[in-house]
Amino acid sequence: MALRIEQFPVLNDNYGYLVRDETSGKVACVDTPDADAIAAALDRLGWSLDLILNTHWHPDHAGGNEALKARYGSTIYGPQEVTRIAPLDHPVTAGDTVDLGEAQFTVMDVGGHTLQHIAYHDARDAVAFVGDSIFPLGCGRMFEGDPVQMWSGLSRIAALPDETKLYCAHEYTAANARFALSVDDAPALKARAEAVFAARERGEWTVPSTVAEEKATNPFLRAPLLAERMGLAGHSDPEVFAAVRKAKDGFKG
Ligand SMILES: [Zn+2]
């Protein structure tokens, strides 16, 4: 049986995720942006919380660990860096696996936004929880890592099967689309951007997306194809990626 995923908006623009293995009834949350909102969602569903899976240490991802663990006795998995601000029971790194009943998540290194940022990939259900590493039409700001590290992480995400659903932690897609259109004129991007603007006008979520959609339209994954446009023909992929990232950081759309 499959994984059931409950998605709900929290804080200004975060998404909270509860994930239930329908066979065993085991439940995990991915990141803890808001302990009260997560507890309210668990109450509404009649679920407890077995596991907490952190993607990185930022407070809108690990800030609710302590309160949720106190309330539910949950076991917390995440990168070691989480201990900067929150409790952690089991540090995990790339290649480790975390079982949720019959579902299994493989830990991927997607560092760069923070040094130890990880994603959780469930191949059986074709889903990945990617935190702030990649967003629809965007990627996380490179706060701690360097372009080589961040490009490597994004490349690992791009190498997942096309149909893999990417569950990221924020609804930034409309702003990302405006930037993407400023650096790339791919027809698929124009069509997707229009669909995104229309969806947001209707108040709809644009998360999750898929690996196939991001490979076709995300300007960060497409960085090598934008080298000439960025004035960087002949430069390495991480160098072009870094230029696109820098352009986004300064973009006033
Ligand atoms: Zn973050």
Task: State residue 106's pLDDT score.
Answer: 98
Residues 6+ apart with CB under 8 A from 83: 57, 91
How many angstroms does the Cα of residue 149 sit away from the middle of ligand 1? 16
How many domains are there within the chain?
1
Radius of gyration of the chain (CA): 18
Across the range 37-53, mean pLDDT stands at 98
Which structural domain range is residue 184 located in? 3-249
132 has catalytic annotation: yes
pLDDT band for position 129 (50/70/90)? Answer: very high
Has residue 1 got a pLDDT over 70? no
Q: How far is the CA of 61 from the centre of ligand 1 (A)?
A: 7
Would you call 90 a catalytic residue per the annotation? no
Q: How far is the CA of 132 from the centre of ligand 1 (A)?
A: 5
Q: pLDDT band at 222, cuts 50/70/90?
A: very high
Question: Which residues does residue 210 pair with via DSSP β-bridges, in sequence order?
Answer: 165
The whole-number average pLDDT for the span 123-138 is 98
Catalytic residue among 60, 109, 122, 184: 60
Average pLDDT in the 144-154 region?
98
- The pLDDT > 70 percentage for the chain reads 100
| Element (DSSP H or E) covering residue 210 | strand 209-210
**Is 249 annotated as catalytic?**
no
Mean pLDDT calculated for residue range 126-138 = 98
Active-site choice (56, 117, 122, 125): 56
At 252 the pLDDT is: 87
Distance 47 CA to ligand 1 centre (A): 27
CA gap 247, 156 in Å, rounded: 23
Across all residues in the chain, what is the average pLDDT?
97
Domain containing residue 115: CATH number: 3.60.15.10
